[in-house]
Structure 1
Amino acid sequence: MNKDELIERVAVRSYLTRAEAFRAVEAVFATIGDAAIRGEAVSINRFGIFSVKSCSAREGRNPRTGERILICPTRKLVFRASRAMKDLLLGEERSDPIELDPR
């Protein structure tokens, strides 16, 4: 699924116009990105946690020449699925299904 398909599905499931769904999806991504820049974790109940992982500098090798190189320290955005999401992926039933208001 790409971003356009995600926006379309959000619009259908939440009874929004495509433009409203676009703004909602953009706002969610921007908020997660802003939190990541500040080094904060974003925890979404029954879905998972987006957090920032710091990787220290390390030594590596150039695969072409075998020469040793220094790999600079970096930060990565990581996602850890919640227990409920892992259960869904395994096909196990949940006692608290996610339902939307049918309006």
Structure 2
Amino acid sequence: MTKSELIERIAQESGLPKGRAEMVVNTIFDSMTSALIAGDGIEIRGFGSFTVRLYKSYEGRNPRTGDVVHVAPKRLPFFKVGKELRERVNGSWDAESEAAVEAVSAPAARPAAAPAPAKPSTPRRRDESLSEDVI
């Protein structure tokens, strides 16, 4: 569900004009954002809670170049699902849903890998060129 779909749904179910529903949704999101920026948690009983987690700096790697990159400390929002929401989501779980997930998550059958070429019996020195029979 996108923000636009949420606004549309609120407008339909509440009878509010679409512009008013958009204002309500924006006010809720702005209030939640302000609370998280201030370091406050948000708890919506039955739904879940939002908190801010602190992450220390660390040395990472650029996957493309392999260079060491310093990653600065940061604060990121974290959502923990509430018990009621978790139970409702899992309550709609049935055998058909489980079969669909198993079909998607099952590893695809891969053809057997070709055996690795045999290594030469004597080690080559760097200055030796490869002979035609090794290539």
Q: Secondary structure at the match of 1:90?
A: helix
The reply on whether 1:63 has 2:67 as its aligned counterpart is: no
Give, in angstroms, the shift of residue 22 of structure 1: 0.7
**Letter in structure 2 aligned against 1:77:** P
**Letter in structure 2 aligned against 1:72:** A
**Letter in structure 2 aligned against 1:67:** D
**Letter in structure 1 aligned against 2:87:** D
In the alignment, structure 2 segments of 5+ residues that lack a partner are 93-135
Structure index of larger Rg: 2
**Letter in structure 2 aligned against 1:88:** R
**What residue number does 1:37 align with?**
37
**What residue number does 1:99 align with?**
none
Give, in angstroms, the shift of residue 50 of structure 1: 1.2
**What residue number does 2:8 align with?**
8
**What residue number does 1:81 align with?**
81
Q: How many residues align?
A: 92
Give, in angstroms, the shift of residue 84 of structure 1: 0.3
- 1:32-53 CA distance string (max 9 Å, x none): 0000110000101111111111
Give, in angstroms, the shift of residue 15 of structure 1: 2.5
Identity of matched residues, %: 36
**Letter in structure 1 aligned against 2:22:** F
Q: How far apart are the structure 1 equivalents of 2:43 and 2:37?
A: 15
Give, in angstroms, the shift of residue 19 of structure 1: 1.5
Runs of 4+ in 1 over 4 A off after TM superposition: none
Q: How far apart are the structure 1 equivalents of 2:10 and 2:80?
A: 22
Q: CA RMSD in A?
A: 1.2
Give, in angstroms, the shift of residue 89 of structure 1: 0.8
